[in-house]
Amino acid sequence: MTVLVLTAPDDDTATRVCEALDDRGRDHVRMDLGDFPETLSFTATGPHPAWGGSLSDGQRDLRLSDITAVYYRRPSSFRFPTHLPAQHRRFATAEARQGLGGLLSCLPVPFVNRPSRIADSELKAAQLQTAAEVGFRVPPTLITSIGSEARAFADEVGQVVYKPLSAPFLHEDGQAKLVYATLVRPDEFDDDSIALSPCQFQAFVRKSHDIRLTAVGGECFAVAIHAGSEASYVDWRADYPSLSYEPVETPEPIATAVSEYLKRFGLPFGCFDFSVSADTGNWWFLECGPNAQWGWIEHETGLPIAAAIATLLTKEGT
């Protein structure tokens, strides 16, 4: 019985899980969807009632019936020959998503996490609403394309940050650049720019520190992240070298809300970000990444996150 690990070749975080599976003597196969169609191929017949068939990456043939769990980490995109016309590549990509992606979605095994549920739970508006419903404190938030509404919101709540709603990357000059949460003033709002695309503004929490909580099954691995610079105080991703880390206990109400949040989205795994109020010590929910990074947290703290994921993928009954 085999765990299928779907991710890019350079994903060190997934490597940690593969090593944890090795420690357990559990068979696993690592593949990347980006290898289709060059070296990755597949075939399937059925359904009766499930699909039967196999995946092959040129080194190993993996029968679908042998897959007992899937760790869907960060596979790269399908890559088709550049000599194909653009419209043909678009058609082939859509067909591959329906064919190979659809086939994988039918596997009657546990996923960490299912791609469809990752997509649903990445929607920021849904995250914030669900967080409020399960009992988290959520900072007042505005999503708008109207500049006057943004100024009125800032006047009402005080200091605000702009936060991208989608994957926070811009590609410029062949490089991917991260868009950080940024403190903004009402006199900086440009109506024309805001009107071009929805913008998310959120009341800024005056905090003592941040929390990254990695939830795996029923376990919570919470770590206090202490900023060592002005940039990292606003968004700790802006200055990793300045950060320090401290494992902390998860308050029971937070653990209960985490469990319910994951249940609502059908996720066995999630990375939660909180800010801890400097005045009250309350944890304020910011977001939950259903497929976020955690490898560096394990490296910095020694918390057994990879082992917990490996256990989840191989536990009895899965």
Q: Where are the beta strands (DSSP E) in the chain?
A: 2-6, 28-31, 41-45, 52-56, 61-63, 67-72, 111-112, 141-144, 160-163, 169-172, 175-178, 182-184, 199-203, 207-216, 219-226, 244-248, 269-277, 283-289
Q: So what's the pLDDT on residue 170?
A: 74
Low-confidence ranges of the chain (pLDDT < 70): 316-318
CA distance 194 to 253: 37
Q: In this predicted model, what pLDDT tens digit does every residue of 69-95 receive, in sequence order?
A: 999 999 999 999 999 999 999 999 999
Is-above-0.85 flag for pTM? yes
Show the domains of the chain with their CATH numbers. Answer: 2-109 (3.40.50), 140-203 (3.30.1490), 207-303 (3.30.470.20)
Output the CA–CA distances (angstroms, integers) from residue 268 to 16, 29, 86, in the order listed: 18, 21, 38
Residues 6+ apart with CB under 8 A from 27: 1, 2, 3, 21
Q: So what's the pLDDT on residue 179?
A: 86
Q: So what's the pLDDT on residue 316?
A: 55
The mean predicted confidence, pLDDT, of the chain is 95
Amino acid at 305: I
The dihedrals phi and psi of 218, each to the nearest 5 degrees, come to: -95, 5
